[in-house]
Amino acid sequence: MKFIQNPFGYERILKKEDLGSGKKPKGSRASDWKRTLSRIWRIVDEQRALLVMVLVMVVISSALSLIGPFLIGRIVDYYVVPGKFEGMRTIILTLIGVYVVLSISLFLQNYWMIGIAQQTIYRMRTGVFEKLLKLPVSYFDQRQHGELMSRATNDIETVSSTLNSSFIQVFSSVLTLTGTVLVMLYLSPLLTVLTMLIIPLMFWAMRWITRRTGKLFKEQQAALGALNGMIEETISGQRVVKAFSQEERVIEEFRAKSSRLRMVGFWALSYSGYIPKVMNGLNNMSFAIVAGMGGLLALNGHVSIGTIVIFAEYARQFTRPLNDLANQFNTVLSAIAGAERVFAVMDEPTEEDNGSRDVQLRGAVAFRDVSFKYDATAEHDTLRHVHFAIEPGQTVALVGSTGAGKTTIMQLIARFYDTASGCVEFDGRDVRSIARQTLRSQMAFVLQDPFLFEATVYDNIRYGKLDATDEEIVEAAKKANAHDFIMKLGEGYNTVLSADGSEISQGQKQLLSIARALVADPVILLLDEATSSIDTVTEMKIQEALEVLMEGRTSFVIAHRLNTVRNADVVLVLQQGEIVEAGLQEELIARDGMYASMLKAGKDIDELLDR
């Protein structure tokens, strides 16, 4: 599949194999769509009572839609043709009653079905969101966030629109089709056979079209997810885009992705759009057959004029359900493609959390010959034979260039990932024997780029401990040197911050994150020091707050400034995934190795190691 340039932009050239030859791609499972429908049905079936009422209304409306044309034919035969109008009033009132009840049944079935559909979508949306929160960090590291958002919104919305309309339409069409054929056979078997001559043509046309549209609709959902992923990524990184003047390149990339979605959507809708056109043509052909042959049979006295009227209406009513089924088939294909993407997320393995939940950490941490790599197929390990032991209450500075393995050590301590070989121990226990939730509930993180929620200052700090009182939050803010600037905000602690915290500075966001960690009262701290891009005055405030936060707690600090290293109990110098130096600062100076060279230079650690 490729794009070529034309005067109007990028056009996607769809090869024959792109459109689908009807053959299953290698490795695909023919039963996938059945499994997906079965899973949707299990959710719908939980509202069985309401569903039964909907089906009853569908049966009633389908029956009444057959009775109406039958009564019209009888009016023609018994009253219009003979010119006899006595008693006609009763049958006309009956006909009006039929259509009134038909309207009521249609309203009720649609009303109840909307409720079923919305409850089903609520279950799916809630299920996928809950699953996203239970998935490991590695899952999000490997996927675009916007693409995941597309699955939780666009794909589920496609399922919603299909349930709202297609479910009733398909069931009603099947019933109407069956009833119509039976009544037509009762009235005139010959005309029924003539009417059904178009069915083979309908099925052939349907098969030819749907073999191509199914693959295209699935590709359309994937292209939409990729486009949403790029949009989310661009909006999140728009400062970087502007800083490097990459607007034109991003626009071109967007145009290419958007053009791909446009062309896939064009061909999907074009092929599916053939269906009503073909069906209308065959419908007119059927009507012409009924009118012509019915007229000849009526002239020979084989059928009445009323029967021809009924058959003309039934012939149209016979092809209408086929047309509806054909149109809904494309909608259902699109919904199945979306549902498969949603269920693919829901089927992902979650983080196993079977360890002990009754563990109170003291703060001793040890790495025992730990080796690790993010990608099992990678040639080299990210960490190689890392070995160290930290006592409770010690501060550990992790020093090293970009890619040395500092963040990976943090990830393993928090058990965002598990080791490939060796083990991480807490108080002499393998970390895998401790439940993740129990482990992380006794940790706190202060990241280099703090994240705030769209909520009040109270709520953002309370995120560290949801049952914290307002007094505890204020006390934590004072210890974090955040109280003064909070009180200067419009509504103090009740000020609502935006998701990106644009109302306050980077340093102030960092102070709030430190206050959040103080409220949590953790045993172990993981700190990605965030003072490298902060002004000197703010840095001093943050440093003071960090000293209060780290007091009496085991702390791991990714060090970017030498000030942090000087205050550490243990310094671990990493290079290419290995610890090349470890010990007290004085010991490392005495060795006159890499760390000593950095001190002599008196520059930032990252800058020295990257040279």
How is the chain split into domains, by residue range?
A: 143-346, 443-521
| pLDDT computed for residue 607 by the predictor | 47
What letter represents residue 89's amino acid? R
Pairing mode of beta strands 429-430, 9-13:
unpaired
Give the separation between CA 258 and CA 224, rounded to whole angstroms: 8
Give the separation between CA 433 and CA 410, rounded to whole angstroms: 18
| pLDDT computed for residue 533 by the predictor | 55
Give the separation between CA 286 and CA 283, rounded to whole angstroms: 5
Structure tokens at 42: 């299990």
| pLDDT computed for residue 601 by the predictor | 65
Give the separation between CA 187 and CA 182, rounded to whole angstroms: 9
Residues contacting 368, CB < 8 A, separation 6+: 387, 422, 423, 424, 425
CATH classification number, 443-521, choose in 3.30.70.20, 3.40.50.300, 1.10.10.10, 2.30.30.140: 3.40.50.300
Residues contacting 506, CB < 8 A, separation 6+: 530, 533, 534
Maximum Cα–Cα distance for the chain, whole Å? 121
Which of left, alpha, beta for 16 (phi over 0: left; psi -120 to 50: alpha)? alpha
Is 187 in contact with 310 (CB distance < 8 Å)? yes
| pLDDT computed for residue 610 by the predictor | 47
Give the separation between CA 425 and CA 541, rounded to whole angstroms: 34
- Indicate the SS3 state at residue 446: strand
| pLDDT computed for residue 145 by the predictor | 75
Buried/exposed 359-390: b ≥16 CB within 10 Å, e otherwise: eebebbbbbbebbbbeeeeeeebbbbebeeeb
Is 342 in contact with 162 (CB distance < 8 Å)? no
Give the separation between CA 293 and CA 329, rounded to whole angstroms: 32
Is 457 in contact with 492 (CB distance < 8 Å)? yes
- Whether 143-346 shares its CATH topology with 443-521 is answered no
DSSP letter for 352, please: P
pLDDT, averaged in runs of 10, over the chain (611 residues): 35 38 37 76 84 90 83 76 76 88 91 86 86 83 77 82 77 81 79 74 71 74 79 72 74 85 80 69 73 74 73 70 69 81 86 84 93 84 91 90 86 89 93 90 85 87 89 91 90 85 82 89 84 66 82 86 75 89 83 76 51 43
| pLDDT computed for residue 319 by the predictor | 64
- Indicate the SS3 state at residue 520: helix
HSE-CB for 474 with a 13 A CA cutoff: 7
CA distances from residue 610 to 402, 404, 449, 534, 557 in whole angstroms, order as listed: 7, 10, 21, 21, 19
For residue 168, give the nearest of 99, 218, 112 by alpha carbon: 112
Q: Can you give the length of the chain in residues?
A: 611
Structure tokens at 227: 């486009």
Is 480 in contact with 514 (CB distance < 8 Å)? yes
User: What's the CA angle centered on 77, arms 72 and 81, to 5 degrees?
Assistant: 115
Structure tokens at 308: 């021809």
In CATH terms, the superfamily for domain 143-346 is ABC transporter type 1, transmembrane domain (1.20.1560.10)
CA distances from residue 133 to 39, 460, 484 in whole angstroms, order as listed: 21, 19, 35
> Which H, E and C letters describe 30-60, residue by residue?
CCHHHHHHHHHHHHHHHHHHHHHHHHHHHHH
Is 372 in contact with 408 (CB distance < 8 Å)? yes
Task: Evaluate the CA torsion angle 38, 44, 46, 48 in order and state its sign.
Answer: negative
Query: Can you tell me which residue has the tokens 């699953």?
Result: 131
CA distances from residue 51 to 55, 172, 339, 504, 538 in whole angstroms, order as listed: 6, 14, 21, 52, 62
CA distances from residue 545 to 32, 42, 189 in whole angstroms, order as listed: 56, 53, 91
HSE-CB for 118 with a 13 A CA cutoff: 6
